[in-house]
Amino acid sequence: MISVAINGYGTIGKRVADAVAAQDDMKVVGVSKTRPNYEARTAVEEKNYDLYIGIPERESLFKEAGIEIAGTVEDMVQEADIVVDCTPGNIGPQNLEMYKKAGVKAIYQGGEDHDLTGLSFNSFSNYDDSYGADYTRVVSCNTTGLTRTLSTIDPIVDIQKVRAVMVRRGSDPSEVKKGPINAIVPNPPKVPSHHGPDVKTVMNGIDVTTMALLVPTTLMHQHNLMIEIGNEVETEEIIDALEKRSRVLVVEANEGLGSTAELMEYAKELGRNRNDLYEIPVWKESINVVGKELFYMQAVHQESDVVPENVDAIRAMLEMESDNEKSIAKTNKAMGIL
């Protein structure tokens, strides 16, 4: 049984912890927090995770709050075969030395630069690259969403050029101090946004350019893809490929799933943990081949689509499963992914 530590028990970290706990070949040895807030309390009192503190000087704050701690992050790392680092972007580089000193492998998230590890991960497009690796990085929620569908159509479509416009949620639902509240913000206001280059870190050689906007919503990102293709392919073949792929859902606006709000309601209907939608929904009505161009629209549940990829990355790095499809199937089954 592989021991996994989660450094940073926030939006992504708490989901990765539960996803690891749901597998039968790995277990959570600890999670970490820097503040004794409600997430720290529920980690200990509801989920029974051992809680370690990221800032040792704050031990008294946890004591005052009556939240039991098992030690510091340095102690936690000693217990682990691998650390999933889910701290906020740019904290990761500070932690790398600690992981190296402890001789422990580590997975970073999309908020860190590719250069930190020199290796990025997606379960479908480049699982093998991280096989046995010491450090990798699961690409961001948007990059994971783009890669899931592009890698699905790649075997049947001669992709010449991808252009994508991404409408991004302004903040996660609990982030009360972020915006915008009443504006559309080109973000970044330059082309390309970082997402296109990021896709290239997991899909070698693809020509993809992205533009991104922030809008006042907390419910999902939405992507609009325009793809120049070099071969003859029917719309039905694209739909068929997307329907067959796990972690991708072909949904119909006609059935009442015409918006991100309704998709989030659908996740509730499915009885998902935290109402998560790990799959990338693609609107069936939007999939269309016009001459030598393919178009489609999709959505991304930013808080959860990267979670199963983290589980697969653990299996790849610890050489627990050499076949990506087998790891994907195992993760999906344990998490109830469609």
Return the active site residues.
141
Contact map string, positions 17 to 36, toward ligand NAD, x by CB under 6 A: ---------------xxxx-
Q: How far is the CB of 152 from ligand NAD (least distance, A)?
A: 20
Which among 150-158, 266-274, 301-309, 310-318 is the span making contact with ligand NAD, rule CB under 6 A?
Answer: 301-309
Q: How far is the CB of 126 from ligand NAD (least distance, A)?
A: 18
Query: Using CB under 6 A, which of 3, 10, 165, 216 touches ligand NAD?
Result: 10
In three state form, how does the secondary structure of 148-207 look? HHHHHHCCCCCEEEEEEEEEEECCCCCCCCCCCCCCCEECCCCCCCCHHHHHHCCCCCCC
Query: Using CB under 6 A, which of 88, 192, 216, 258 touches ligand NAD?
Result: 88
Query: Using CB under 6 A, which of 172, 207, 234, 255 touches ligand NAD?
Result: 172
Does 195 count as an annotated binding residue?
yes
Query: Using CB under 6 A, which of 9, 99, 121, 278 touches ligand NAD?
Result: 9
Which among 84-92, 204-212, 236-244, 320-328 is the span making contact with ligand NAD, rule CB under 6 A?
Answer: 84-92
Nearer to ligand NAD, 220 or 317 (CB): 220
Contact criterion met (CB below 8 Å) for 101 and 276: no
What residues have CB less than 8 Å from 310, skipping those under 6 apart? 12, 16, 19, 20, 84, 107, 138
Query: Using CB under 6 A, which of 4, 5, 13, 17 touches ligand NAD?
Result: 13
Contact map string, positions 121 to 160, toward ligand NAD, x by CB under 6 A: -------------------xx-------------------
Smallest Cα–Cα separation from 297: which of 337, 232, 238? 238
Tell me the C-alpha to C-alpha distance, in Å, between residue 219 and each of 19, 21, 171, 174, 210. 21, 26, 9, 11, 21
Nearer to ligand NAD, 284 or 301 (CB): 301
Token pair, residue 32, equals: 């970490």
What residues have CB less than 8 Å from 337, skipping those under 6 apart? 246, 247, 278, 279, 308, 331
Does 271 count as an annotated binding residue?
no
Helices (H) and strands (E) in the chain, counts: 12, 15
Binding of ligand NAD at residue 201 (CB under 6 A)?
no
Burial of 189 (0-12, 13-18, 19+ CB in 10 A): exposed
Residue nearest ligand NAD, CB atom distance:
10
Which among 87-95, 114-122, 198-206, 276-284 is the span making contact with ligand NAD, rule CB under 6 A?
Answer: 87-95
Give me the count of residues in the chain: 338
Does 122 count as an annotated binding residue?
no
Four-CA torsion 106, 88, 33, 303, nearest 10 degrees: -90
Please compute Rg for the chain using Cα positions.
20
Positions at the binding site for NAD(+): 11-12, 111, 169, 302
Residues in touch with ligand NAD (CB under 6 A): 7-13, 32-35, 54, 73, 86-89, 91, 109-112, 140-141, 172, 302-303, 306
